[in-house]
Amino acid sequence: MSVLIVGTIGLDTIETPFGRKNEILGGSAVHASMASSFYAQTAIVGVAGNDFPKEYADLLKSRNINLGGVQIIEGHTFRWSGYYEYDMNKAHTRDTKLNVYAAFDPKIPDNLKKSDFVFLANLDPEIQLKVLDQLDKPKMVAMDTMDFWINSKRDALHEVIKRVDFVLMNDGEARQFMETPNLPVAASRLLKLGTKAVIIKKGEHGALLFTDGVHFSAPSYPQQMLRDPTGAGDSFAGGFIGYLAKSNDLSQENIRRAVIVGSVMASFNVEDFSLDRMRRLKRKEIIDRFQEFKDFSEFETIKPAHIKK
């Protein structure tokens, strides 16, 4: 099964305590597709300006990522500039230039309309709806969003959530959108809006999965090597959907496994800027880190004899 990812392709200028990088390859669709490409055949729908560096396109193609749905138009590529302070938990935006995304009208190529697994990465929810309208019976659709759309396009966001299977949000966004500080409550409200499952990404605290009546708590990696958190959520989503597509199995057991795969991919992505860690990543490292996740979260059952009568 193949994966279609709709989102931004961008040039990021990023400052973290570990350095400053100018106009490096970034964007939600880029980070997500890179992570997905380790598992499934992956295609991007998006737009880039005619200033988009050929070497960046070549890097994505070298991962067999299908760029046939990427429009190249006269103008500048999307740019984001931001910095992280000492604790690196929060991205501070210096500047966002939508550039060619300002008038982005997504056109899904015919051969991609039948994609089985679709990830609507963070984008204007009205654009996400236009994508949904063009899909031909996808097996599973996941979406992400951000505080900016929660504040400015609440109704469209409700409509998207009603039409997708998985909603991915970070913890702050879920609390804000559902107007409660309690994450399990926020998740149950999101489920009531009509989606089948909610994944709350908590950065250094792992991720939570909520489906009707079932809850899964995924640990985070004890990350000592954190250089640049940009794209963590997108690489999580890409690993998650790529693994689901490849295994073509939407059982609770496999969804949990895919959440851990997403966590594994995010844990690698943050170890360096842009896709620098991901392009060096080996299959064996993924298997080993997944096993680490298992090892550091397993425990045995309680012995009732040790509780007083």
Q: Which of residues 241-270 bind a second copy (CB under 8 A)?
A: 243, 246-247, 253, 256-257, 259-261
Tokens representing 105 are: 């009208």
Shortest Å, Cβ 71 to a second copy = 27
Q: Where does this chain touch a second copy (CB under 8 A) — which range of 53-61, 70-78, 137-145, 182-190? A: 182-190
DSSP 194-221: T-SEEEEE-GGG-EEEEETTEEEEEPPP
Shortest Å, Cβ 123 to a second copy = 27
Shortest Å, Cβ 156 to a second copy = 28
Tokens representing 230 are: 């940009």
Between 196 and 290, CB nearer to a second copy: 290
Dihedrals φ, ψ of 81, to 5°? -130, 130
**Cα-based distances in Å from 273 to 18, 25, 248, 268:** 9, 9, 31, 11
Pairing of strands 214-218, 207-211: antiparallel
Site string for a second copy, 93-132 (x = CB under 8 A): ----------------------------------------
Q: Which residues contact 7 (CB under 8 A, 6 or more apart)?
A: 27, 28, 29, 30, 32, 44, 46, 119, 120, 121, 122, 123, 234
Dihedrals φ, ψ of 280, to 5°? -95, -5
Between 88 and 100, CB nearer to a second copy: 88
Shortest Å, Cβ 157 to a second copy = 23
Between 25 and 186, CB nearer to a second copy: 186
Distance, CA of 141 to CA of 104 (rounded, Å): 21
Between 192 and 306, CB nearer to a second copy: 306
Distance, CA of 290 to CA of 307 (rounded, Å): 34
**Cα-based distances in Å from 146 to 8, 117, 124, 133:** 13, 21, 9, 21
Number of residues interacting with a second copy: please give it, by CB under 8 A.
59
Q: Where does this chain touch a second copy (CB under 8 A) — which range of 54-62, 107-115, 151-159, 280-288? A: 280-288
Tokens representing 181 are: 């500080």
Distance, CA of 167 to CA of 120 (rounded, Å): 10
Shortest Å, Cβ 230 to a second copy = 17
The Cβ of residue 141 has, within 10 Å, a number of other Cβ atoms equal to 24
The Cβ of residue 302 has, within 10 Å, a number of other Cβ atoms equal to 8
Distance, CA of 210 to CA of 16 (rounded, Å): 33
Shortest Å, Cβ 304 to a second copy = 6
Site string for a second copy, 25-64 (x = CB under 8 A): ------------xxx-------------------------
Between 53 and 82, CB nearer to a second copy: 82
Q: Which of residues 191-220 bind a second copy (CB under 8 A)?
A: 202, 204-206, 208, 210, 214-220
Question: Does residue number 286 form part of the binding site for a second copy (CB under 8 A)?
Answer: yes
Binding site for a second copy (CB under 8 A): 37-39, 86-89, 175, 181-185, 188, 202, 204-206, 208, 210, 214-220, 222-224, 226, 243, 246-247, 253, 256-257, 259-261, 283, 286-287, 290-291, 294, 296-304, 306-309
